[in-house]
Structure 1
Amino acid sequence: MMLLLMLMLSVLSLAHSDDDFCYDEEHCDPYAWGDNYPSCHPLLDSHHSPINLDHQLMNNQSLDSLHLEGFNLTHKGQWWLTNQGHSVVLELGNGMQVSGGGLPGTYRTIQLHFHWGSVSSNGSEHTLDHLRFPMEMHIVNIKSTHPNLTSALEDPTGLAVLGVFIDVTYLHNENFQSISNALPSVAYKGQTKSIRPFPLMNLLPQNNLTQYYRYHGSLTTPPCSQVVLWTVYEVPTYISWAQFELFVKGIYSTEELADKQVHLQNNYRHIHPTYGRPVYASKDAKMLTNGASPLAILNLFNVLLYIGFLSI
């Protein structure tokens, strides 16, 4: 059973070698990915991700809340958290799917993973009016009409990814504790730890799920296939500094017995131009549609969170 799960995880990792791309060395960093993956070359294609979400967007009143089926349930079996050397990935198994909110069909949820910076730098992939958050979580969903990922990568809308910004506060977030507890067990590349399933909805900004931005883009790791419908929520969720440090200080891009241990940090791709692509704001999106500064709004968010007036 374990072998089967690891095989599935390797397929969902888009069939790339663990050593053929990186984030921190010139010969294999994001600017060099196009050498091995032509579709990652930023000058050959115009639908790359991530992007900066700014005021140059269009309101779409038909974009309401997505239907997140099974996200509020505690599913049976086990989930598996794995250090792939580029991120930590939580394999979610069956029982969840995403539809509505302007998506062209139903998408089954397969995994989530994280991107982060360092103790001194932020590391979200998307930016909000040039504001970069400490972390970003991606929940990956594959169109249900496709039998496998290979098939989905041939479909311009084969994947739907939910992007969630993660801010860091002095407040502990118990909803992330199952993942936090498992991180020391996957400190090194290739390590895997089982996790008891929990309601995935707990990781989302539950009171603000109708506030998001939508655009057509790509995977943010090789092969950078331009087959993703992105939904990026404008209101972040949060974790504590202690939980954040488990990522930036406790996760390595190298194997346990490697001659040199390298912390996995700043595992995000650089921002790409939209090249005239339409970027849509949902009907309830506020931060980029009312002229207010996202930074000012987020500062207010943190104050309200701290004094207990806001619940995520």
Structure 2
Amino acid sequence: MIWTAAFLVVLVSCADPEDYCYDEPSCDPYSWGESFPLCHPLLELHHSPINLDHHMIRNDSLQPLHLEGFEEVQTGHWTLENDGHSVVLRVGSGMAVSGGGLPGTYHTVQLHFHWGGPASNGSEHTVDGHRYPMEMHIVNMKSIHPNVSAALDDPTGLAVLGFFIDVVYADNLHFGHISQKLSSVAHKGQTAKIKPFPMMSLLPKHNMSQYYRYQGSLTTPPCSQAVVWTVYEVPIYISWSQLAQFTSQIFSTEEDAEQVTPLQNNFRHIHPSSGRTVLASRDATLLTGTAAPPPRSALRLLHVVTLGGIALRL
């Protein structure tokens, strides 16, 4: 559909791809506001990502979301792309998200990833100040809007499902649908076709009732404050080698560039909640007096071993 294609251009490419970056002072997240006014932290207050801690309110009405079509194999093909800022999987039509306190039905249009480097974690949201190795975002657009402009002008125009990604030693076979194609999109501008698979196979399907909800923004320019965030408590697990494919084998430059630049640390910095209420679902456990601090990621433990027992704060 035309509006879906236009939406992806705005959300993923965000105007000229050269207009923002993550690792150069002239265009990193702290300077995005110079080119994209909505990204300026002093002009707008409801930025994302945020730190998730025990200062939240349980809402028993926040039950599991209805994920229509997530258990099914969709028709046609999906497209994996390196847009210079992330690896994006465009999923076409056939899936939708509703319920769980969302103000309407949202059509699923794409998912993408944020990660760190070979020796650093790179999730966008943090939990009690701890950053996970990666984070996956499933982006959904409210079905009532006729075009992109209307959705981005609506404070609840988008619904993004955020999933932390942690590491173990064994490959995640379901995640292999994506990781096995990464070599085909190693460089900016490259695309690859992927045969659709059940989206639910990627997700922590037995823990989908445990999540956190708040109102925020896109974490990339234009930083529109149009996102209902649902961040899940239980992470997706992938292997060390699958993680390394992102942190070491994806590049923000074209294949024929004179200097090849690894795409690393593509996450926006944490922003204050600025008085926003962060809600915990009925079954979430990260509440004062109800849960121990979240476990340290296996990645952090590896660093302790490989650096001679000297623990680094990542």
What letter is aligned with 2:105?
A: T
**1:213 aligned to 2:241?**
no
Q: CA offsets per residue over residues 13-49 of structure 1, 9 Å max, x none?
A: 2641110000000000000000001110011111000
Give the secondary-structure state (helix, strand or coil) at the position aligned to 1:285.
coil
Aligned identity (percent) is 62
In structure 2, C-alpha distance between the alignment counterparts of 1:37 and 1:10, rounded to whole Å: 16
Q: CA offsets per residue over residues 33-87 of structure 1, 9 Å max, x none?
A: 0000111001111100000001110110100000000000001100000000000
Q: CA RMSD in A?
A: 2.0
What letter is aligned with 1:108?
A: H
Q: CA offsets per residue over residues 279-309 of structure 1, 9 Å max, x none?
A: 000010013344433334878xx9xxxxxxx
Q: Do the aligned partners of residues 151 and 121 (structure 1) sit closer, same or farther apart at CA in structure 2, a change above 3 Å counting? A: same
In structure 1, C-alpha distance between the alignment counterparts of 2:69 and 2:297, rounded to whole Å: 29
Give the secondary-structure state (helix, strand or coil) at the position aligned to 2:181.
helix
What residue is the counterpart of 2:168 in the other structure? 169
Equivalent residue pairs, number: 299
What residue is the counterpart of 1:151 in the other structure? 150
What letter is aligned with 2:106?
A: Y
In structure 2, C-alpha distance between the alignment counterparts of 1:116 and 1:288, rounded to whole Å: 26
Displacement of 1:179 in angstroms is: 0.4
Give the secondary-structure state (helix, strand or coil) at the position aligned to 2:244.
helix
Give the secondary-structure state (helix, strand or coil) at the position aligned to 2:175.
helix
In structure 2, C-alpha distance between the alignment counterparts of 1:31 and 1:81, rounded to whole Å: 28
In structure 2, C-alpha distance between the alignment counterparts of 1:82 and 1:171, rounded to whole Å: 26
Mapping of residues 128-139 of structure 1, within 5 Å: 128-139=127-138
What residue is the counterpart of 2:228 in the other structure? 229
- Segment of structure 1 superposing worse, 287-296 or 143-152: 287-296
Cα pair 1:110 1:141 within 8 Å, conserved: yes
Q: Do the aligned partners of residues 8 and 269 (structure 1) sit closer, same or farther apart at CA in structure 2, a change above 3 Å counting? A: closer
Displacement of 1:178 in angstroms is: 1.0
Mapping of residues 103-118 of structure 1, within 5 Å: 103-118=102-117
Mapping of residues 1-312 of structure 1, within 5 Å: 9-13=8-12, 15-296=14-295
In structure 1, C-alpha distance between the alignment counterparts of 2:24 and 2:11, rounded to whole Å: 25
Displacement of 1:168 in angstroms is: 1.0
Cα pair 1:288 1:294 within 8 Å, conserved: no
What letter is aligned with 1:276?
A: G
Q: Do the aligned partners of residues 264 and 297 (structure 1) sit closer, same or farther apart at CA in structure 2, a change above 3 Å counting? A: closer
Q: Do the aligned partners of residues 258 and 9 (structure 1) sit closer, same or farther apart at CA in structure 2, a change above 3 Å counting? A: same
Q: Do the aligned partners of residues 60 and 157 (structure 1) sit closer, same or farther apart at CA in structure 2, a change above 3 Å counting? A: same
Give the secondary-structure state (helix, strand or coil) at the position aligned to 2:44.
coil
In structure 1, C-alpha distance between the alignment counterparts of 2:290 and 2:26, rounded to whole Å: 41
Give the secondary-structure state (helix, strand or coil) at the position aligned to 1:13.
helix
Structure 2 residue runs without a partner (length 5+): 302-314
In structure 2, C-alpha distance between the alignment counterparts of 1:290 and 1:137, rounded to whole Å: 29
Give the secondary-structure state (helix, strand or coil) at the position aligned to 1:266.
coil
Displacement of 1:102 in angstroms is: 0.3
What letter is aligned with 1:225?
A: S
TM-score between the two structures when normalised by the length of structure 1:
0.92
Cα pair 1:287 1:297 within 8 Å, conserved: no
Q: Do the aligned partners of residues 174 and 53 (structure 1) sit closer, same or farther apart at CA in structure 2, a change above 3 Å counting? A: same
What letter is aligned with 2:134?
A: M
Cα pair 2:211 2:233 within 8 Å, conserved: yes
Q: Do the aligned partners of residues 252 and 230 (structure 1) sit closer, same or farther apart at CA in structure 2, a change above 3 Å counting? A: same
Cα pair 1:23 1:29 within 8 Å, conserved: yes
In structure 2, C-alpha distance between the alignment counterparts of 1:186 and 1:114, rounded to whole Å: 14
Give the secondary-structure state (helix, strand or coil) at the position aligned to 1:174.
coil
Give the secondary-structure state (helix, strand or coil) at the position aligned to 2:174.
helix
Cα pair 1:172 1:239 within 8 Å, conserved: yes
In structure 1, C-alpha distance between the alignment counterparts of 2:144 and 2:74, rounded to whole Å: 23
Q: CA offsets per residue over residues 98-155 of structure 1, 9 Å max, x none?
A: 0000000000000000000011100000001111000000000000001232220011
Give the secondary-structure state (helix, strand or coil) at the position aligned to 1:39.
helix
Displacement of 1:6 in angstroms is: 7.2
TM-score between the two structures when normalised by the length of structure 2:
0.91
Cα pair 1:81 1:195 within 8 Å, conserved: yes
In structure 1, C-alpha distance between the alignment counterparts of 2:29 and 2:151, rounded to whole Å: 23
Cα pair 1:14 1:223 within 8 Å, conserved: no
Cα pair 1:83 1:190 within 8 Å, conserved: yes
What residue is the counterpart of 1:309 in the other structure? none
Give the secondary-structure state (helix, strand or coil) at the position aligned to 2:180.
helix
Q: Do the aligned partners of residues 7 and 51 (structure 1) sit closer, same or farther apart at CA in structure 2, a change above 3 Å counting? A: closer
